[in-house]
Structure 1
Amino acid sequence: MIASVKRELLVRHLEAWAPAALHRARRVIYMHGFADADQGASAEAAARVLAEQSDFVRGRELSMLLVGDDVKPVSERLAKIPELAALNVHAVSGGTGEMLAVALTAAGAQRVPLLGYLDAASASEPPSPATVRALTAGKPAEVLLALAPGVSVDDYREGWPLFTAVELATGDEPGELLAFATMSGKSLEGFKETLWAVDEFAGVRYRDPGDPERHLIDISLSPHPGPLRREILAHLGRVGSATVTELRTFALTETVYRAADVTRVLHTLADSGTVTRQPPGGRLGGDVVIGLP
């Protein structure tokens, strides 16, 4: 079930990313690392999304890079699917950690829109931060990174201006981690909207990696606000006070929640007297300062 959630998140994000990237630039690259994982099912799902961009590709170049231990069977499988015939696919075997940067250089990925998807959740060992950071060669660049339970996502923040993570859980035990890193605030907001809009899969829920109580959250367009409330109060305890805009940014980058969820929580906290606001009345605009009593 976790594999289904990851695949839907990838497909939905690609559906938004690909047309926007092709509108922006004449060359666009999608990198699918660990492409031989899950028998290539995620790679095929991604390829089908990219192949649907035919209306945007005229006069432009859209490439898909497959990298993994042995991606030849995956590339051969994709080549046999008629609707993918026009898609420009390059396969590089030899291991994602060893070959990702090499493949990007060979493809001329520097300074072109670049999205990477690295599902290392079942890999023998997680990719090095340097491997993931190689994707920052793209301009703009972003990456979806899946990691095994217990791996520290914070190791992968360096080099990425905007970074967030969510735990995909099926119970009390630690679940897989999915990190998203980008250079675009708009793209981060879009990913957060996608995160809460995916179909619910039986038994799969989210957990905010920063929530000390490890509360499980049902996938919903109106997620339970408890973890966000706790994290905002803890954050205010550390910094003293913050503007609404700063708290919205905090939620986007340091929690699983959206910026819009912050406004809902702050209204509740202010109405109950749990936090103070300056000025005390009026609209809860971005420049309103929130603090603890």
Structure 2
Amino acid sequence: MSERVRRRDQHVVVERDVLVRYLDAWTATTLRSQRGGTYVECGGFAADAVRVFAEFADRLDGHHLELVVTGPAPVAVPAGLSVREMTEPFGFAGPVLAHVEDDWPVAESLARGKGHEVVVTGAEPGDDHRARLRTAGLRCVLAVDLVAEDGAAQTLVFATADSKHLATFKNELWAVDEFAGIRYRDPRDPERTLVDISLTPQLLPLRRVLSAELARRGSCSVAELQQHTLLETIYRPADAVAALTAAAAAGDISREPEKGRLTPRTVVACR
């Protein structure tokens, strides 16, 4: 396979890895609930979804778990998994996780409903994806640019009404293959800093964001900045603690109490 072909596929490798990881966590949660759930695949990852569901084959009986796909349904599926082709208008009962490949009318339609979540892949960088999905009713939105070695970028978007699910998705985002040839970029970062995929990522962009937020507030708790990190950046709440710890050690911020580990109750302020 040529280098040119590999580079075109870099985005897909990371998108698939993130989606599969989150789908695994979503399925485990869904099978613990009496409501069941529906996974809607509006792209090219139906076979990957079936492999995830097959890992739960011994738990599918007695649960309502449905796979809805565009186009022909997969042939080989585990017993206990319902499969059907998608039709309009969309009507799903219970929790829904949908994957859409850069089709915003469909994404916005699937976002409307209690317990609905949407992953959008292949989106063009620069659009205000967060506002669109928040308008559709999902207040917790992550948008992250996936930048390949040749500079080509696509945006991956995840939207949910549950901040805990957003935290789970971010954990999976930073756990994917760091050697896939993709770096992350926060679309809202004015410096457009590229960050390597890592469980312990570079935190300079986050330190800038937290410094600006702290300057706006004057002072606040670490917990408040962790929440800001979760909802407004590509980073995780734990990354906020690491960034603030480094800032305090450098003398950039003050803290109360002055000694000990930073905890959610610690109050920090600009110097």
TM-score by length of 1: 0.81
Q: Deviations over 1:218-253 (max 9, x none)?
A: 111110111111111122223322210011111111
Q: 1:171, 1:239 → 2: CA distance?
A: 38
Runs of at least 5 residues in structure 1 that lack an aligned partner in the other structure: 94-98, 121-125
- TM-superposed CA distance for 1:262, in Å, is 1.0
The match for 1:117 among 79, 83, 99 is: 99
Letter in 1 for 2:16: R
- TM-superposed CA distance for 1:187, in Å, is 1.7
Q: 2:185, 2:112 → 1: CA distance?
A: 27
Alignment length (residue pairs): 259
State the identity as a percent: 37
Letter in 2 for 1:212: P
Q: Secondary structure at the match of 2:67?
A: strand
Letter in 1 for 2:101: D
The match for 1:91 among 68, 72, 85 is: 85
Q: Larger deviation: 226-235 or 195-204?
A: 195-204
Task: Answer whether contact 1:241 1:289 (CA < 8 A) is retained.
Answer: yes
Partner of 1:61: 64
Q: Secondary structure at the match of 1:220?
A: coil
Q: 2:260, 2:33 → 1: CA distance?
A: 40
Task: Answer whether contact 1:211 1:230 (CA < 8 A) is retained.
Answer: no
Q: Deviations over 1:138-175 (max 9, x none)?
A: 4x332212212232212222311322221101258562
The match for 1:17 among 26, 29, 43 is: 26
Letter in 2 for 1:229: R
Task: Answer whether contact 2:118 2:160 (CA < 8 A) is retained.
Answer: yes
Partner of 1:151: 127
Task: Answer whether contact 1:23 1:56 (CA < 8 A) is retained.
Answer: no
The match for 1:273 among 235, 251, 257 is: 251
Letter in 2 for 1:157: R
The match for 2:111 among 102, 118, 135 is: 135
Q: 1:164, 1:149 → 2: CA distance?
A: 13
Letter in 2 for 1:22: L
Q: Secondary structure at the match of 1:142?
A: strand
Task: Answer whether contact 2:40 2:67 (CA < 8 A) is retained.
Answer: yes
TM-score by length of 2: 0.87
Q: Secondary structure at the match of 1:23?
A: coil
Partner of 2:140: 162
- TM-superposed CA distance for 1:266, in Å, is 0.7
Q: 1:86, 1:184 → 2: CA distance?
A: 27
Higher helix fraction (1 or 2): 1
Q: 1:202, 1:64 → 2: CA distance?
A: 28
Task: Answer whether contact 2:111 2:133 (CA < 8 A) is retained.
Answer: no
Letter in 1 for 2:126: G
Q: 1:209, 1:86 → 2: CA distance?
A: 41
Q: 2:125, 2:235 → 1: CA distance?
A: 20
Letter in 2 for 1:266: L
Q: Deviations over 1:34-92 (max 9, x none)?
A: x3xxxx3x12111221233222212112111113xxx13xx2xx11x3x5565321113
Partner of 2:6: none
Q: Secondary structure at the match of 1:168?
A: strand
Partner of 2:52: 49
Runs of at least 5 residues in structure 2 that lack an aligned partner in the other structure: 1-9
- Please give the residue correspondences for 1:1-293 in structure 2 after superposition, counting only pairs within 5 Å: 1-33=10-42, 35=43, 40=44, 42-67=45-70, 71-72=71-72, 75=73, 78-79=74-75, 81=76, 83-84=77-78, 87-92=81-86, 99=88, 102-103=89-90, 105=91, 109-110=92-93, 112-120=94-102, 126-128=103-105, 131-132=107-108, 134-138=110-114, 140-146=115-121, 147-154=123-130, 155-158=132-135, 159-170=137-148, 173=151, 175-293=153-271
Q: 1:183, 1:250 → 2: CA distance?
A: 16
Q: Secondary structure at the match of 1:206?
A: strand
Letter in 1 for 2:55: E
